[in-house]
C-alpha cells in the first residue's frame, strides 16, 4: 500500500505540472502526459539522490522535497493568461474509442505481466515463454539495487559499473523498498506502463491522422504485428512436410510438421514455434517479433522507454505541426526534459528519438526556417543526456568493436555474409500487407504524411546500415519506432482505399480478408504466449533465496556457475562472480577469464584460494548446475569451509569466513 501511495504522489505531481504547462491540450492528453511525467520523475529523483546516499527508503522520502519544489515552481510560472481546455463531446467520443481499443489491450497486457513474471504455483515460481530468457537479468538488478550506493556495479559481474540502462528496474526496486513483494514490484509498474503505451499510441495516432478509423487500424498494425509467416503454417495442410524438435534439439521446417490441427497445436505448445520470430531463423528468416509478447512483456527497458518515448514524439509532432505560435516554449522545455531522461531508461529509444528529431528538424527548417524551438529542445535534451551517455553508456561501448558497425539490411544479411531473402521480399513477408499500404501512401502528395515520413525513415535508413550493439537483432528496437509512425500512414491509406471502393459489394469481404492477412501471425503469437507456462524457480530455489536474504549481507558475493536461472542473484539480489554470456556477451563483456577461475577453484579449492580473494567471495554455492557443469571437489570444500546451508535436493552453501569477504 505504501508503494502505491508513493507512486500516486508522483502521478498527481506529474498531472499538476502538465495542467500548468499545457493548458491548451485536451484533458486526456494532459492526464496521459502527466502520468508518464510522474513515472519519469519517480525514476530519476531518488536515483539522483542515491548518488550521494544509498538507494534507500530515506533517499526516496527526501526525493519528495525536490518533487514538491518542482511542482510548485511549475505551477507558479504557468501561463496565467492561457485558456484551459475543458472536456468536450469530441473528447468523450475519443474515450469510447480508447475503451474499445486500449482497454482490451491493457487487460491483455496485465494478464501477461501476471502470468509471465513469477506467478506462484504451489511454492514454485512460473514464467512464460518470452520472459524465460531475460527476466532473471532484470530480477537481479531489481533486487540488488536495494540500499545500494550509486553508481552501482553489475551484481552478475562485480567490479564493473552497471552501464545497462537500469532506471526501469530501479523503478521496481522502489516498490520493493516500500514493502511490495518482488512479483508485485515487477507486475504493477509493467501493467501500468503497458496501459500508458497502448493509450498513448492511440492519442499520438489521433494527433497525426484525420481519421478515427485509421487510429484503430494503426494500433492493430503496430500491436498485433507479425507479417505473413502464418502462410507457412497453412500451406499444404493435408501433408506433413517437416519435423519437430527431437532429443538433440534439432528440427526442420517445423511450421509444416503435422497436418491440420496438429500444426496449430505445434504453434500453441512448441518452444518458439509461432510464425513470427521463429526458432528456425535460418530456415524461415521470420524476424518481425510481435511487439506485445516479445518486446513489451519481456524487455522491460523497451517498455519503460516507450512509456516516455511516445509522449516525447507527441510533444515534438504537436509543436512542429502547429501553424501559429509553433512549438510553445513551455511545451518545448518539457519535451527537452523528458527526452533528456531517456538514455538510462532505454538508450535505443533515445537514439530513435534523436534520429526522428533530425529528420523532422531538417524538413521543418527547409519549409519554415524556424530554428529557435529546435535549439531550445536540442540543447535541453543533450545537456541532460550527456552525463548519462559519458558516465554510463560510452564508458563501456567506446572503443569496443562489438558496438556500432556497418551491416546492410539488418538480420537479412547476418554478419555481412550475404542476404538470405530478396531485399523487398524480406520486409514484405516480415511486416506483411501493411508495408505495401505504407509504400502506396508515400506516393500520394500529402505534406503531413511526408513530414511524418521524413523523420520515420531517417530511423529506418540508419538502422538498415548500422548495427548499434553486439546482437544485430536488437536493431529491431529502432525499427519498431519507425514502424509505429509508419503504421499511421499505412492505416490512413487503408481507410482511403476502403472509401474509394464504396459501391463495390464485396468490399467488406475484401476488408475482412485483408484484416486476416495482416493480423493472423500476430494473433497466433499472442495466443501462444497466453497459454505458455514454464517453471523458472523450484521450491528449493525459493527456499535458498529466502535463506540467503535472511542470513547474508547485501554486499556478500557468491561463487557459483554462470547459469541464468540463479536464485542467489535473481531472487536474493546478491552478487555472483560471473553471470551468463546470454546477457554479458551482448553487453560487451568477455567472461572467459572469470569462467576459467571458477572452474579452477571448484576443481582444486586448496590450490586456488586466491580466486576467492580476487573476487572478494563470501560464500560458495554447490548445486545441480555446478555439479553438472564443473568438476566439483566437494571433499576439499567440506574440509576447508563451513557448511552453513544444505537442502533436501543436495544444494549446499559454504561460508568462507572473514579473511576474504
pLDDT digits (tens, 9 = 90+) for 39-68: 999 999 999 999 999 999 999 999 999 999
User: Residue 425 and residue 413: Cα distance in Å, rounded?
Assistant: 13
| Nearest CA-CA partner of 305 in 258, 351, 359 | 351
Following CA atoms 41, 459, 348, 51 in sequence, which dihedral angle do they give, to the nearest 10 degrees?
-50
| Distance from C-alpha of 266 to C-alpha of 274, rounded to nearest angstrom | 8
C-alpha cell at 20: 500548468
Q: How many CB atoms lie within 10 A of CB 1?
A: 8
Mean pLDDT computed over 541-556: 97
Beta-carbon neighbour count of residue 623 at 10 Å? 23
CB atoms within 10 A of CB 185: 26
Query: Residue 248: pLDDT above 70?
Result: no
Residues 6+ apart with CB under 8 A from 399: none
**For the chain, what are the domain ranges?**
1-87, 196-229+275-536, 538-655
User: Between β-strands 405-406 and 466-467, what pairing exists: parallel, antiparallel or unpaired?
Assistant: antiparallel
In the chain, the N- to C-terminal Cα span, in Å, equals 37
120: which strand partners?
125
The CATH fold of domain 538-655: Rossmann fold (3.40.50)
Q: What is the DSSP letter of 475?
A: G
Among 114-123, 326-335, 483-492, 639-648, name the one with the lowest average pLDDT: 326-335
pLDDT (0 to 100) of residue 660: 46
According to the model, what pLDDT value does residue 327 have?
78
Q: Is the pLDDT of residue 250 over 80?
A: no
Percentage above 70 pLDDT, the chain: 97
Predicted confidence band of residue 402 (pLDDT cuts 50, 70, 90) = confident
Question: Of 139, 156, 150, 161, nearest to 60 (Cα)?
Answer: 150
Place 399 in a pLDDT band, splitting at 50, 70 and 90: low
- 641/653 Cα distance (integer angstroms): 10
Q: What residues have CB less than 8 Å from 586, skipping those under 6 apart?
A: 469, 470, 471, 474
Cβ–Cβ under 8 Å, residues 506 and 491: no
* Arithmetic mean of pLDDT over the chain: 95
C-alpha to C-alpha distance for 157 and 141, rounded to whole angstroms: 11
Report pLDDT for 247. 56
Model pTM greater than 0.85?
yes
The fraction of the chain above a pLDDT of 90, given in percent, is 88
Which tens digits make up the pLDDT trace of 11-25? 999 999 999 999 999
Q: Which residue has the cell 502538465?
A: 18
| Interval 579-604: pLDDT, tens | 999 999 988 899 999 999 999 999 99
The span from the CA of 460 to the CA of 352, in Å, is 9
| Residue 98, all three cell numbers | 480508447
Q: What pLDDT, in 10s, does the model give residues 254-303?
A: 899 999 999 999 999 999 999 998 888 778 999 999 999 999 999 999 99
209-233 per-position pLDDT tens digit: 989 999 999 999 999 999 999 999 9
Task: Give the count of beta carbons closer than 10 Å to the beta carbon of residue 214.
Answer: 24
* 102 pLDDT more than 50: yes
Q: Which three cell numbers stand for residue 393?
A: 553508456
pLDDT value of position 324:
60
Q: Residues 429-438: what's their mean pLDDT?
A: 98
82 confidence band (pLDDT: 50, 70, 90): confident
How many other C-beta atoms can be found within 10 angstroms of the C-beta atom of residue 643? 13
Amino acid at each position: 500500500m505504501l508503494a502505491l501511495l508513493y507512486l500516486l504522489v508522483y502521478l498527481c505531481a506529474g498531472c499538476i505540472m502538465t495542467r500548468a504547462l499545457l493548458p491548451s491540450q485536451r484533458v486526456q492528453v494532459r492526464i496521459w502526459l502527466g502520468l508518464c511525467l510522474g513515472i519519469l520523475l519517480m525514476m530519476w529523483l531518488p536515483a539522483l539522490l542515491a548518488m550521494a546516499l544509498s538507494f534507500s527508503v530515506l533517499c526516496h522520502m527526501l526525493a519528495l522535497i525536490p518533487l514538491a519544489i518542482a511542482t510548485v515552481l511549475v505551477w507558479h510560472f504557468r501561463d496565467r493568461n492561457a485558456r484551459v481546455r475543458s472536456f468536450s463531446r469530441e473528447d468523450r467520443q475519443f474515450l469510447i474509442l480508447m475503451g474499445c481499443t486500449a482497454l482490451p489491450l491493457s487487460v491483455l497486457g496485465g494478464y501477461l505481466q501476471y502470468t509471465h513474471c513469477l506467478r506462484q504455483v504451489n511454492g514454485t515460481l512460473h514464467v512464460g515463454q518470452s520472459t524465460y530468457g531475460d527476466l532473471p537479468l532484470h530480477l537481479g538488478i531489481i533486487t540488488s539495487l536495494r540500499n545500494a550506493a550509486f553508481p552501482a556495479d553489475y551484481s552478475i559481474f562485480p567490479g564493473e559499473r552497471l552501464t545497462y540502462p537500469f532506471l526501469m528496474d530501479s523503478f521496481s526496486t522502489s516498490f520493493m523498498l516500500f514493502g511490495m513483494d518482488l512479483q508485485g514490484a515487477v507486475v504493477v509498474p509493467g501493467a501500468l506502463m503497458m496501459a500508458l503505451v497502448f493509450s498513448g499510441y492511440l492519442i499520438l495516432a489521433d494527433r497525426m491522422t484525420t481519421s478515427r478509423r485509421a487510429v484503430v487500424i494503426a494500433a492493430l498494425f503496430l500491436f498485433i504485428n507479425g507479417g505473413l509467416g502464418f502462410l507457412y503454417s497453412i500451406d499444404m495442410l493435408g501433408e506433413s512436410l517437416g519435423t519437430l524438435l527431437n532429443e538433440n534439439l534439432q528440427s526442420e521446417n517445423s511450421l509444416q510438421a503435422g497436418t491440420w490441427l496438429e500444426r496449430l497445436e505445434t504453434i500453441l505448445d512448441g518452444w518458439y514455434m509461432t510464425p513470427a520470430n521463429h526458432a528456425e531463423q535460418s530456415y524461415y528468416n521470420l524476424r518481425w517479433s510481435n511487439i506485445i509478447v516479445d518486446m513489451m512483456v519481456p524487455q522491460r527497458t523497451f517498455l519503460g522507454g516507450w512509456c516516455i518515448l511516445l509522449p516525447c514524439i507527441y510533444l515534438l509532432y504537436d509543436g512542429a505541426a502547429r501553424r501559429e505560435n509553433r512549438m510553445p516554449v513551455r511545451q518545448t522545455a518539457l519535451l527537452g526534459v523528458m527526452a533528456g531522461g531517456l538514455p538510462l531508461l532505454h538508450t535505443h529509444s533515445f537514439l530513435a528519438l534523436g534520429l526522428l528529431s533530425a529528420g523532422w528538424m531538417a524538413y521543418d527548417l527547409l519549409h519554415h526556417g524556424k530554428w529557435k524551438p529546435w535549439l531550445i529542445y536540442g540543447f535541453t535534451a543533450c545537456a541532460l543526456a550527456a552525463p548519462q551517455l559519458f558516465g554510463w553508456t560510452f564508458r563501456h561501448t567506446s572503443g569496443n568493436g562489438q558496438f556500432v558497425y556497418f551491416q546492410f539490411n539488418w538480420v537479412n544479411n547476418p554478419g555481412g555474409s550475404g542476404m538470405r531473402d530478396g531485399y523487398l521480399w524480406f520486409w514484405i513477408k516480415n511486416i506483411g500487407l501493411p508495408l505495401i499500404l505504407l509504400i502506396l501512401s508515400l506516393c500520394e502528395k500529402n505534406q503531413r504524411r511526408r513530414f511524418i515520413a521524413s523523420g520515420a525513415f531517417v530511423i529506418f535508413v540508419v538502422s538498415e546500415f548500422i548495427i548499434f550493439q553486439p546482437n544485430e537483432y536488437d536493431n529491431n528496437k529502432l525499427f519498431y519506432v519507425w514502424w509505429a509512425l509508419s503504421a499511421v500512414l499505412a492505416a490512413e491509406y487503408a481507410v482511403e482505399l476502403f472509401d474509394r471502393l464504396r459501391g463495390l459489394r464485396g468490399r467488406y469481404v475484401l476488408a475482412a480478408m485483408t484484416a486476416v492477412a495482416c493480423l493472423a501471425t500476430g494473433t497466433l503469437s499472442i495466443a501462444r504466449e497466453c497459454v505458455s507456462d514454464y517453471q523458472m524457480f523450484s521450491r528449493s530455489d525459493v527456499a535458498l533465496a529466502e535463506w540467503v536474504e535472511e542470513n547474508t549481507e547485501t554486499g556478500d558475493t557468491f561463487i557459483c556457475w554462470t547459469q541464468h536461472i540463479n536464485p542467489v542473484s535473481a531472487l536474493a539480489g546478491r552478487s555472483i562472480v560471473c553471470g551468463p554470456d546470454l546477457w554479458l556477451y551482448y553487453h560487451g563483456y568477455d567472461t572467459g577469464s572469470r569462467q576459467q577461475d571458477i572452474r579452477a577453484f571448484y576443481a582444486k579449492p586448496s590450490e586456488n584460494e586466491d580466486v576467492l580473494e580476487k573476487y572478494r567471495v563470501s560464500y560458495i554455492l554447490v548445486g545441480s548446475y555446478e555439479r553438472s557443469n564443473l568438476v566439483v571437489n566437494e571433499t576439499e570444500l567440506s574440509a576447508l569451509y563451513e557448511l552453513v546451508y544444505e537442502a533436501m535436493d543436495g544444494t549446499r552453501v559454504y561460508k568462507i569466513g572473514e579473511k576474504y569477504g
